[in-house]
């Protein structure tokens, strides 16, 4: 209930009235059934704009600490809001715990929900598209659901009247769903996860036209590549390698 209250009564009308966004490819969003909506990430406003402009309810996995609300009044408000609008916690501590912590996301996909994710893992510092993390592939292969690539255009805040930040006509381009059913169940294979992730990032790049840099955006914003020349990592597109070979089977048809 609260999701619809905020979307229909506040965020949806507010986004449309203030920023006049445009959408292309609405027919590509599945009308029902579970799917992962994978977007590039150029602004803090991206999740709000996507949720406001897509007809179906969006679920964004948020780090589990935000649901605890144990760091003062603001953290309690954030925790209440996330729970009220039916978002799900995600354990991002790494290793086996993160895999197990993905259970709420997989449950939501199994229930036929839409999971929104930003595979780059952080906002782009310069408008370029960076290497995707493999969580998007793990979700899609584990739940055997399609990935819908989405390119966001012009969502970065700019100075408006009286110096107040605003957004001018942001765009949401929805691509055709990507299906990886032939690789379902292979979410523990590193090469498979990387190939699927690259295919998703390639689809996003073709929709939005961003220049691709084959390193993680976190390294460029906060790590050892901050302020460095990135020309050696520029690529025409993510991936480009052949699809992973099928698993070999023995005469009984069982996987080796």
Give the position of tokens 């009235």.
17
Residue 151 within any structural domain of the chain? yes
Distance in angstroms (rounded) separating the CA atoms of residues 253 and 238: 34
Average pLDDT of the residues in 157-177 = 88
Residue-level pLDDT at 95: 52
Q: Label residue 250 by pLDDT band (50, 70, 90).
A: very low
Q: Label residue 225 by pLDDT band (50, 70, 90).
A: very high
Average pLDDT of the residues in 10-19 = 88
Helices (H) and strands (E) in the chain, counts: 9, 13
**How confident is the model over 91-110, as pLDDT tens digits?**
765 555 556 678 889 999 99
Mean pLDDT across the chain, nearest whole number?
Answer: 89
Residue 253 within any structural domain of the chain? no
Residue 177 within any structural domain of the chain? yes
Question: And the tokens for 223?
Answer: 């790590």
Phi, psi of 173 (to 5 degrees): -110, 120
Residue 116 within any structural domain of the chain? yes
**How confident is the model over 20-70, as pLDDT tens digits?**
999 999 999 999 999 999 999 999 999 999 999 998 999 998 877 777 877
Question: And the tokens for 106?
Answer: 């997989």
Nearest C-alpha neighbor of 25 from the set 210, 206, 168, 172:
172
Residue 9 within any structural domain of the chain? no
Average pLDDT of the residues in 209-222 = 97
* pLDDT for 239 beyond 70: yes
**How confident is the model over 115-163, as pLDDT tens digits?**
999 999 999 999 999 999 999 999 999 999 999 999 999 999 888 777 7
Q: Containing domain of residue 138, as a range?
A: 33-242
132/86: higher pLDDT: 132
CATH number assigned to the domain comprising residue 199: 3.40.1130
Residue 44 within any structural domain of the chain? yes
**How confident is the model over 57-69, as pLDDT tens digits?**
999 988 777 778 7
249/77: higher pLDDT: 77
Average pLDDT of the residues in 78-103 = 72
Q: Label residue 256 by pLDDT band (50, 70, 90).
A: very low
Give the position of tokens 């790049």.
205
Residue-level pLDDT at 160: 77
Residue-level pLDDT at 68: 80
Q: How many domains are there within the chain?
A: 1
Residue-level pLDDT at 230: 96
Distance in angstroms (rounded) separating the CA atoms of residues 59 and 69: 19
166/155: higher pLDDT: 155
Question: And the tokens for 164?
Answer: 């107040």
Distance in angstroms (rounded) separating the CA atoms of residues 239 and 237: 6
In the DSSP assignment, the letter for residue 178 is B
Distance in angstroms (rounded) separating the CA atoms of residues 48 and 132: 21
Portion of the chain with pLDDT greater than 90, in percent: 63
Q: Label residue 228 by pLDDT band (50, 70, 90).
A: very high
Residue 149 within any structural domain of the chain? yes
Residue 217 within any structural domain of the chain? yes
């Amino acid at each position: 209930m609260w999701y619809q209250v905020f979307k229909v009564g506040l965020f949806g009308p507010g986004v449309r009235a203030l920023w006049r966004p445009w959408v292309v490819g609405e027919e590509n969003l599945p009308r029902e059934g579970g799917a992962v909506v994978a977007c590039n990430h150029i602004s803090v406003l991206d999740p709000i704009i996507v949720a406001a402009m897509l007809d179906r309810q969006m679920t964004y996995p948020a780090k589990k600490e935000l649901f605890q609300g144990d760091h003062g009044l603001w953290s309690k408000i954030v925790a209440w809001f996330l729970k009220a609008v039916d978002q799900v916690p995600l354990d991002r501590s790494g290793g086996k715990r993160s895999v197990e912590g993905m259970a709420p996301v997989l449950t939501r996909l199994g229930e036929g929900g839409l999971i929104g994710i930003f595979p780059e893992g952080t906002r782009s510092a310069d408008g370029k598209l960076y290497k995707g993390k493999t969580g998007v592939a793990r979700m899609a292969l584990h739940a055997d659901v399609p990935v819908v690539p989405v390119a966001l255009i012009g969502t970065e805040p700019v100075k408006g009247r009286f110096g107040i930040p605003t957004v001018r006509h942001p765009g949401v381009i929805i691509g055709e769903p990507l299906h990886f059913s032939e690789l379902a169940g292979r979410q523990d294979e590193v090469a498979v996860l990387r190939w699927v992730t690259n295919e998703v990032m390639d689809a996003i790049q073709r929709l939005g036209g961003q220049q691709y840099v084959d390193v993680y955006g976190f390294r460029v914003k906060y790590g050892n590549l901050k302020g460095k020349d990135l020309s050696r990592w520029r690529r025409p597109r993510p991936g480009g390698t052949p699809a992973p070979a099928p698993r070999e089977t023995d005469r009984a048809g069982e996987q080796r």
